[in-house]
Amino acid sequence: MEKPRSEKNYKGLAFVPMIVFLVLYVGCGVFFTLTGTEDPFGQMPRYVAVIAAICMAFVFFDRKTPLSAKTEIYTKGAGRYGVMLLSLVVLLAGGFQSAASAMGAENSIVNMGIDLIPLNFLVPGIFLISCIISTSTGTSMGTQVAIIPVAIALANGAGINVAMAGVEGTYLLFLDLRKYVKPEGIGDFVQKKCKLAVDYGEWFGKNFVGFNRLNLATHPEYVQKAVANIAREIQAL
């Protein structure tokens, strides 16, 4: 019979990930507020601070444990395994996209793609890259976050019309709240007032800031309740 493994008491070290998050997000927000920067708490994206905190937790937790085991422990402890694993993928993809855009990598890829890839191969090429990414990551969400900003920039740079034709059916709804709530306040409005968990538009690129993505692939009663909550809180503004 295998001897049960004793749990290690991390004492004060258990608070290190939370401290890292607070220092990065709140600390940067306060600093940029004092310096008079516009949208101070938006300068350090929350998901980047969360990724840093999670990485710190992985470093402090039993270094002999494989990364795959640490990931499983974290996802099961934070909630449902599949949902939390997908959330990690989205966080990492969003952080990668923001970092790549900030360092100019997105523009470099766009310029290189326009110079090297013939125009008639551009759309099939993006489709092929998306297939490879989705197969490698195993998630459509991670593929969307990673490829949409680059694909839109490539299309605009090549003069391709990115307007999309209307569809006959979908299970995803992008809700535009910009007329009612400022982009920096949408997170608090949706989570604290409407009591909803959604995908935020900025996760899919700068063009979607101010939007929220609702998943309609559920019981109609839940969709109606979500819409009713949003409508009620908008009327209360």
Please report which confidence band the pLDDT of residue 232 belongs to, taking 50, 70 and 90 as the band edges: very high
In the chain, the percentage of residues whose pLDDT exceeds 70 is 75
So what's the pLDDT on residue 110?
63
Greater confidence (227 vs 113) lies with 227
2: pLDDT strictly greater than 70: no
Q: How far apart are CA 46 and CA 19, in angstroms?
A: 14
Highest mean pLDDT among 65-69, 131-135, 222-226: 222-226
So what's the pLDDT on residue 100?
65
Q: How far apart are CA 24 and CA 50, in angstroms?
A: 9
Of the listed ranges 139-143, 146-150, 196-200, the least confidently predicted one is: 139-143
CA atoms within a 13 Å half-sphere pointing along the CA-CB vector of 58: 15
Mean pLDDT (whole number) for 176-192: 85
So what's the pLDDT on residue 13?
73
194: pLDDT strictly greater than 50: yes
CATH T-level topology, domain 172-235: Aspartate Aminotransferase, domain 1 (3.90.1150)
Q: How far apart are CA 234 and CA 230, in angstroms?
A: 6
DSSP H helical segments within 103-201, as ranges?
105-116, 119-137, 140-158, 186-188
Separate counts of helices (H) and strands (E) for the chain: 10, 3
Please report which confidence band the pLDDT of residue 109 belongs to, taking 50, 70 and 90 as the band edges: low
Greater confidence (229 vs 124) lies with 229
Bridge partner residues of 191 (DSSP): none
Q: How far apart are CA 114 and CA 108, in angstroms?
A: 10
So what's the pLDDT on residue 210?
83
- Average pLDDT of every residue of the chain: 77
Q: How far apart are CA 166 and CA 164, in angstroms?
A: 6
So what's the pLDDT on residue 185?
85
So what's the pLDDT on residue 107?
66
pLDDT tens, 45-102?
A: 787 788 888 888 887 777 778 878 887 877 777 776 666 776 777 777 666 666 666 6
CA atoms within a 13 Å half-sphere pointing along the CA-CB vector of 133: 17
Q: What is the domain partition of the chain in residue ranges?
A: 172-235
Greater confidence (104 vs 139) lies with 104
